[in-house]
Amino acid sequence: MELELFSKFLGYILGLLIIFTVCKIFFKPLKVIFKFFFSSFLGLVLLFIINSFSHITGFYIGINPITALILGLLGVPGIIVIAILKFFIM
């Protein structure tokens, strides 16, 4: 009787461990993708704010897939990199 109870308990623990491992494997890439899109969104909002004042400053950065990729990979520091590159290219 005790052996049967122990084997059931061990089965439940093993099942929970497998479920936890599978969830961790599948949710890790989702976390990276979410972070990429969140960084892209935050960078694009900041870029939109900068471009909103372009009529005053004369400094405009185009919004295109390359800009979005840089903002997604680097986040907010990416806008600084793009601004520095734009400043030196102008």
Give the percent of the chain with pLDDT over 70. Answer: 97
Q: Higher model confidence: residue 38 or residue 6?
A: 38
Question: Whole-structure pTM over 0.85, yes or no?
Answer: no
Token pair for residue 5? 């109870």
**Which tokens is 34 given?**
């979410």
Q: What is the pLDDT of residues 53-88, one digit of tens each?
A: 888 888 888 888 888 788 878 888 888 888 888 888
Confidence at residue 1, expressed as pLDDT on a 0 to 100 scale:
63
In this prediction, residues 14-36 reach a mean pLDDT of 86
28/78 Cα distance (integer angstroms): 24
Q: How far apart are CA 48 and CA 61, in angstroms?
A: 9
